[in-house]
Amino acid sequence: MAAPTKICSVFRNGLFNGKVAIVTGGGTGIGKAITQELLYLGCNVMVASRNEERLRKATDEMKKNITSPAELDHMQCNIRKEEQVQNLISKTLKRFGKLDFLINNGGGQFPARAETFSLKGWNAVIETNLTGTFLCCREAYNQWMNDNGGVIVNIIADMWKGIPMMSHTGAARAAVDNLTKSLALEWAESGVRINSVAPGSSIYSETAAANYGDPKIFAYNIPKIPLKRLGTVEEISTSVCFLLSPASAYITGETIKVDGGGSLYSTMMYNIPDHKKSKAYTWKDDEETKSKL
């Protein structure tokens, strides 16, 4: 078996010594990479997720790899539930005494055509990705950041051209992009910066590969990416750490796309079947219509 990869960072040792962060969805994929880099840089982390069993296992594993004085704790929290989010923030404040960073990474969706969504399915995705992010931001602000400042990073998605078969999450993530801008303006006076990171769908993680069920699905992306390779979870984590750090002290309300240039080129894996349902409009058609009135 290959030796486990040593966690490290492009940032200097101790950059976040004594800081405190909450990472939602921090036990898997991108969230786990963010948690591990923060711990490496000395930041105490509370990871939160809905699935307690999986979160505890991930936390136990991550604890073994901590090389800084930082501490890691975990809390079961369904970000759709207002009371659970209030509890996550208050328990973190009790455990670590403050809250410097909030990373809203928890999210979820299922692939389907929009016309087939039940209202329950639609609401579940909007509540997790949009409302859950809002609740975490609001509680972090009301319980700590209004008085003490802080930095928030929202993880969104490559939804710039729509996400066919995932329209619910596309709508929710676009809303978080806009929420980021509004909150940056409203909360600037409290010393809060808030930005987003938008990973491309070409970011490879074992969690994402397992969700897709077909790891090869990632390889289909490569021709459509200007950098001609998949992205790594570390490449998301490093952008998050940049936005949390003083290196971005003059950046707020911004979204960084981490997608190898894919959103500028073509990311569509969705093929629209040939059809003849679109009728052209010309002035001639208009005259004909008027003459019939």
- Give contact residues for ligand ADE (rule: CB under 6 A): 24-25, 49-50, 77-80, 106-108, 128, 132
Q: Which of 161, 171, 92 lies closest to 131 in space, CA to CA?
A: 171
Q: What minimum distance in Å lies between the beta carbon of 25 and ligand ADE?
A: 5
**Would you say 132 or 150 has its CB closer to ligand ADE?**
132
Q: Mapping DSSP to helix (H, G, I), strand (E, B) and coil, where does residue 16 land?
A: coil
**Would you say 42 or 106 has its CB closer to ligand ADE?**
106
Q: What minimum distance in Å lies between the beta carbon of 267 and ligand ADE?
A: 23
Residue 245: is it exposed, middle or buried by C-beta count within 10 angstroms (0-12/13-18/19+)?
middle
Closest residue to ligand ADE using C-beta atoms: 106
**Would you say 52 or 288 has its CB closer to ligand ADE?**
52
**Would you say 87 or 263 has its CB closer to ligand ADE?**
87
Q: What minimum distance in Å lies between the beta carbon of 246 and ligand ADE?
A: 29
CA 218 to each of CA 203, 230, 233: distance values in angstroms, whole numbers, following the listed order: 8, 7, 14
Q: What minimum distance in Å lies between the beta carbon of 198 and ligand ADE?
A: 18
Q: What minimum distance in Å lies between the beta carbon of 8 and ligand ADE?
A: 27
Q: Are 96 and 20 in contact, with CB atoms under 8 Å apart?
A: yes
Strand partners, 198: 257
**Would you say 77 or 102 has its CB closer to ligand ADE?**
77
Q: What minimum distance in Å lies between the beta carbon of 129 and ligand ADE?
A: 8
For residue 70, count other CB atoms closer than 10 A to its CB: 20
Q: Which of 204, 184, 180, 206 lies closest to 193 in space, CA to CA?
A: 184
Q: Are 158 and 200 in contact, with CB atoms under 8 Å apart?
A: yes
**Would you say 130 or 258 has its CB closer to ligand ADE?**
130
d(CA 43, CA 84) in angstroms, rounded, equals 23
**Would you say 50 or 193 has its CB closer to ligand ADE?**
50
Q: What minimum distance in Å lies between the beta carbon of 62 and ligand ADE?
A: 17
Q: Which of 43, 227, 79, 261 lies closest to 155 in space, CA to CA?
A: 79
Q: Are 88 and 77 in contact, with CB atoms under 8 Å apart?
A: yes
